Amino acid sequence: MKYGSLIIEKKEYVLLKRILNISSYAKDFDTQRAIKCLSDNLKNAQILDEEDVPKDVIRFNSNILVEFNENLNKHLHLVIPANKNIKENKISVITPLGALLFGCAEGDVLHEKLGSGIQHLQIKKVIQDNMQGKIDLVI
């Protein structure tokens, strides 16, 4: 990892905890797996003030270019669960991929079981959306 551990902004940390508490009753396996991943990741993450979070860290509303298995590039937009929209490549933080990416940084390389097999992912680019820092903490 580029910064040694995941990095999460304080307000987003609070929002994530709320999302996890609300979502813990989900019955679908992928959501449960994402919740466990996020919960585990939060235990070791650096929680920083807004001004201390590097601009290349994946947060809510980040636009991300991810390379899968060294041959497929995909543009994604990481959002809260209510704003997910697969047709617009908006993925929720409580999907396996969203949970895996949250708090990572540009340049990070991940090897994870996603879908039917092990995926090699490289975060090629992170661009912060103009909605950054404007997340409503009420879900």
pTM for the predicted model, two decimal places: 0.89
Distance in angstroms (rounded) separating the CA atoms of residues 74 and 45: 26
Please check the confidence at residue 6 and state whether its pLDDT lies above 50: yes
Q: What is the pLDDT of residues 56-106, one digit of tens each?
A: 999 999 999 999 988 899 999 999 999 999 999 999 999 999 999 999 999
Query: Burial, 103: exposed, middle or buried (Cβ in 10 Å; 0-12, 13-18, 19+)?
Result: buried
**What SS3 state is found at 53?**
coil
Please say if the pLDDT value at position 43 is more than 90: yes
Give the chain's mean pLDDT.
89
> Quick one: pLDDT at residue 139?
45
Q: By percentage, how much of the chain surpasses pLDDT 70?
A: 92
Helix (H) / strand (E) containing 55: none
Report which of 45, 47, 62 is spatially closest to residue 1, judged by C-alpha positions.
Answer: 45
Q: Which residue has the tokens 């601009």?
A: 55
Share in percent of the chain as helix, strand, coil (round to 5)? 30, 30, 35
What pLDDT was estimated at residue 138?
A: 47
For the ranges 27-36, 114-123, 130-139, the lowest mean pLDDT is seen at 130-139
pLDDT at position 136:
56
**pLDDT tens by residue, 122-131:** 999 999 987 6
Q: Return the pLDDT at 62.
A: 96
